[in-house]
Chain A
């Protein structure tokens, strides 16, 4: 497996508060990488540096490099919109747009210039199939997406992200607002999707990390404490703090 993203000495500040300290990490292609750690310690912040969503917060300052396919994404020549097309995102709370299911999925492709109805129909169907929700919604594509259940909405958001044909999918605690059944469907979906996509998932649920991820990174106080194969990290953690966290001594 070759590496698709690398962060080198990444530091991030919100105003004066440092939220990430010298993070170095390499994310392999077509696999699931999980970020674990207590809430408020930099996992989501780091995830959002990978497609520059932090640019939207005016007080954020970043030092260091994040390379995607060998190119530093913070370089001034990078087209952020194109970057976010290639590195898609699924958010903590399902956030479909207040429009029809069809228009939700077609939003991304339309944004990137696809106008043909035939082409859009094709993309919408394929994305919904890939997100394992086609059978549930094929008869009500013109209905408002806000009428779906939370779990369906989250799978719709995954389909929406897939519709722009990204290479990487960033998932920020995608199941934290969902019930157990919807959660397991999203997990199955993630495992299915890693055949074609690279997935990076933030989770505060350690069982989830064990169930679905290939590699796990443990963040604490803005630092990357330990990173390695999931099985190894959970069975033989090297760092004392990792061991304390995964055995439930804090967090």
Chain B
């Protein structure tokens, strides 16, 4: 038989557990619902497909959508080869294990630094020292540095999951090191690498602090090459500008809703990719 005291204790703990779970769930649901309720009514085709005009007083976020797209593309073009290449070198080739350990530690530390610091450094280095000016390119390069540690670490972790027996089998057939990596190791961990890259798209999409310093606030409609060399606001930066400087909360919430939908889609596609490869391997 349980004593009364013990029963009360168990009941109290259970209640505390339910309350904390409920509170967490409510907060998340409230946040999502609030943003959607406030934002979705303001999303219109006109908003998505035009640029803002001071003459007509209308606001369109097409330039910001394109700027975001350019930043994502430019960042990935640099960060994937660099991050994956560095990971391959560190896991497969590097002999000095202590140095590798130090680099891994540094990378982990770097990924925890507040992004505003990257923004400051990016501004001084890319915009001023390399004189790329305030531009999407400067912004992208700053995001490259920011995302490099994560892409590198996720790739390294996927490379480490490839069983040694696969490598032994390939080496035993007389394959050289690079061939083993290219034809056996990478294909068996490609899902991890792709998932890492998709998740870093999510981070690029959500970044604002680093871009405030480096990419600027313009809403001009540009092609990709012109766009990269000129200043421009990403969706997150535009959200800040419309809310804080122009008081256009409707537009800000519309952008917020769009960003949330995009993040959801990105996370979903990461899950789908890993599920696709897991299924392919099972056959």
Binding site for B on A (CB under 8 A): 51, 53, 56, 58, 81-85, 88-89, 91, 93, 95-99, 107-108, 111-112, 143-144, 146-147, 157, 160-161, 164
Residue of B whose beta carbon sits closest to that of A157: B169
Could you name 21 residue pairs across A and B whose Cβ atoms are closer than 8 Å?
A51-B172, A56-B168, A56-B171, A83-B174, A84-B174, A89-B172, A91-B165, A91-B168, A95-B168, A97-B169, A97-B184, A97-B188, A98-B187, A98-B188, A98-B281, A99-B187, A111-B170, A112-B174, A144-B282, A160-B169, A164-B174
- Shortest Cβ gap from A113 to chain B (Å): 11
- Shortest Cβ gap from A50 to chain B (Å): 11
CB neighbours of B282 from chain A (8 A): 144, 146
B175 within 8 A of A: yes
- Shortest Cβ gap from B205 to chain A (Å): 32
B173 within 8 A of A: yes
Contact B165 A95, beta carbon cutoff 8 Å? yes
Out of A83, A88, A144, A161, name the residue touching B283 (CB < 8 Å): A144
The complex places the Cα of A83 from the Cα of B172 at a distance, in Å, of 10
15 further A-B pairs in the complex, CB-CB below 8 A; given A111-B175, A161-B172, A164-B174: A82-B174, A83-B174, A84-B171, A85-B173, A89-B168, A91-B172, A95-B169, A98-B187, A98-B188, A111-B170, A111-B174, A112-B174, A144-B282, A146-B283, A157-B169
CB neighbours of A161 from chain B (8 A): 172-173
Kindly identify, within residues 179 to 211 of chain B, every residue whose CB is under 8 Å from any CB belonging to chain A: 179, 183-184, 187-188
B95 within 8 A of A: yes
Contact B175 A88, beta carbon cutoff 8 Å? no
Residue of B whose beta carbon sits closest to that of A90: B172
CB neighbours of B170 from chain A (8 A): 97, 107, 111
The complex places the Cα of A107 from the Cα of B188 at a distance, in Å, of 15
B166 within 8 A of A: yes
CB neighbours of B176 from chain A (8 A): 81
CB neighbours of A51 from chain B (8 A): 172
Kindly identify, within residues 146 to 186 of chain B, every residue whose CB is under 8 Å from any CB belonging to chain A: 163, 165-176, 179, 183-184
Residue of B whose beta carbon sits closest to that of A89: B172
The complex places the Cα of A108 from the Cα of B174 at a distance, in Å, of 7
- The 8 A CB mask of B251-283 against A (1 = contact, 0 = none) is 000000000000000000000000000000111
CB neighbours of A146 from chain B (8 A): 281-283
Residue of A whose beta carbon sits closest to that of B173: A108
- Shortest Cβ gap from A88 to chain B (Å): 7
Given A98-B281, A107-B183, A147-B283, A164–B168 Cβ distance below 8 Å? no
Contact B166 A95, beta carbon cutoff 8 Å? yes
Contact A107 B281, beta carbon cutoff 8 Å? no
CB neighbours of A143 from chain B (8 A): 283
CB neighbours of A93 from chain B (8 A): 165
The complex places the Cα of A208 from the Cα of B256 at a distance, in Å, of 70
The complex places the Cα of A28 from the Cα of B187 at a distance, in Å, of 40
- Shortest Cβ gap from A139 to chain B (Å): 15
CB neighbours of B168 from chain A (8 A): 53, 56, 89, 91, 95
CB neighbours of A95 from chain B (8 A): 163, 165-166, 168-169
CB neighbours of A147 from chain B (8 A): 283
The complex places the Cα of A108 from the Cα of B184 at a distance, in Å, of 12
Query: 10 closest pairs, A vs B, by CB?
Result: A85-B174, A95-B165, A89-B172, A84-B174, A108-B173, A144-B283, A81-B174, A95-B169, A111-B175, A98-B188
The complex places the Cα of A96 from the Cα of B170 at a distance, in Å, of 10
The complex places the Cα of A81 from the Cα of B171 at a distance, in Å, of 8
- Shortest Cβ gap from B72 to chain A (Å): 31
The complex places the Cα of A96 from the Cα of B165 at a distance, in Å, of 9
Contact A91 B281, beta carbon cutoff 8 Å? no
Most buried by B among A51, A82, A84, A143: A84
- Shortest Cβ gap from A122 to chain B (Å): 18
The complex places the Cα of A50 from the Cα of B198 at a distance, in Å, of 45
The complex places the Cα of A56 from the Cα of B175 at a distance, in Å, of 13
CB neighbours of A108 from chain B (8 A): 173-175
Kindly identify, within residues 94 to 134 of chain B, every residue whose CB is under 8 Å from any CB belonging to chain A: 95
Contact A91 B175, beta carbon cutoff 8 Å? no
Residue of A whose beta carbon sits closest to that of B168: A91
Residue of B whose beta carbon sits closest to that of A56: B171
The complex places the Cα of A130 from the Cα of B7 at a distance, in Å, of 72
- Shortest Cβ gap from B130 to chain A (Å): 40
